[in-house]
C-alpha cells in the first residue's frame, strides 16, 4: 500500500527556476531521489538529488538528517509541481526571545501563533520567511507554473498582441 501512495504523490518545488534541473536529472542522471528528513527539528522536510552523479556512481545521501536511503525515486516530470514565483501577501513585526541554550533567537509563542494564523488565512500552500533586516515575518503564497492565473496572463497577453497594431518604420499608418 505504501508504494501505491508514493506513486500518487505530487512533489512541490517552492524554489523558482528548478524545473530545468529536475528535467535534466530525469533525462540524463537516472531520475530524482526524494529524501525526507528524519530530523525532529525539520520533520517531513524534503530534499531532491539526482539518482546518479555525473560519473555514473550512485548519488550519496545529502545530509545525515535524510537517512541512508531515499524515500522514493521519481522518473516522471508530471509528479512535480513547480513554483513560478512567490508572492508576498502579508508582512508584520515579530517578537523574538533567546533560545533555551542562549545560542539562537526564537520567535515568542505569541509570534509563532500569529505566523501560523497568517499562513492558515493565506492558504494551504503558503509559507513564511524572515526579513532579518526589519525583524518581520513575510507570508508568501506560490504562483504555480501552469496555474489558472498563469494561463489567464498568457491569454491576455496573446489577446493584446493580436489587437494592438504593429507599427513599422517608414510605413504610413494613417490610411
Residue 33 backbone zone (phi > 0: left; psi -120 to 50: alpha; other: beta): beta
* Domain edges within the chain: 9-75, 83-144
Confidence at 154, pLDDT banded by 50, 70, 90:
low
Q: How far apart are CA 33 and CA 94, in angstroms?
A: 36
Q: How far apart are CA 22 and CA 10, in angstroms?
A: 14
Give me the pLDDT at residue 104, please.
85
Residue with cell 498563469: 150
For residue 107, count other CB atoms closer than 10 A to its CB: 16
The 10s digit of each residue's pLDDT in 84-130 is 999 999 999 999 999 888 888 889 999 999 999 999 999 999 999 99
Q: Which of 87, 88, 92 is nearest to 143 (CA)?
A: 87
Amino acid at each position: 500500500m505504501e508504494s501505491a501512495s508514493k506513486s500518487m504523490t505530487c512533489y512541490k518545488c517552492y524554489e523558482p527556476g528548478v524545473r530545468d534541473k529536475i528535467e535534466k536529472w530525469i533525462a540524463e542522471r537516472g531520475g530524482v531521489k526524494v529524501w525526507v528528513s528524519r530530523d525532529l527539528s525539520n520533520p517531513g522536510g524534503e530534499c531532491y538529488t539526482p539518482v546518479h552523479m555525473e560519473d555514473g556512481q550512485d548519488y550519496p545521501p545529502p545530509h545525515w538528517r535524510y537517512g541512508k536511503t531515499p524515500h522514493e525515486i521519481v522518473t516522471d516530470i508530471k509528479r512535480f509541481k513547480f513554483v513560478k514565483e512567490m508572492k508576498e501577501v502579508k508582512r508584520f513585526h515579530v517578537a523574538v526571545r533567546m533560545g533555551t541554550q542562549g545560542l539562537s533567537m526564537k520567535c515568542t509563542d505569541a509570534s509563532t501563533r500569529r505566523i501560523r494564523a497568517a499562513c492558515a488565512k493565506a492558504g494551504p500552500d503558503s509559507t513564511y520567511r524572515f526579513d532579518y533586516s526589519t525583524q518581520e515575518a513575510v507570508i508568501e503564497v506560490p504562483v504555480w507554473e501552469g496555474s489558472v492565473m498563469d494561463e489567464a496572463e498568457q491569454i491576455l497577453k496573446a489577446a493584446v498582441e493580436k489587437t494592438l497594431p504593429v507599427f513599422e518604420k517608414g510605413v504610413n499608418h494613417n490610411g
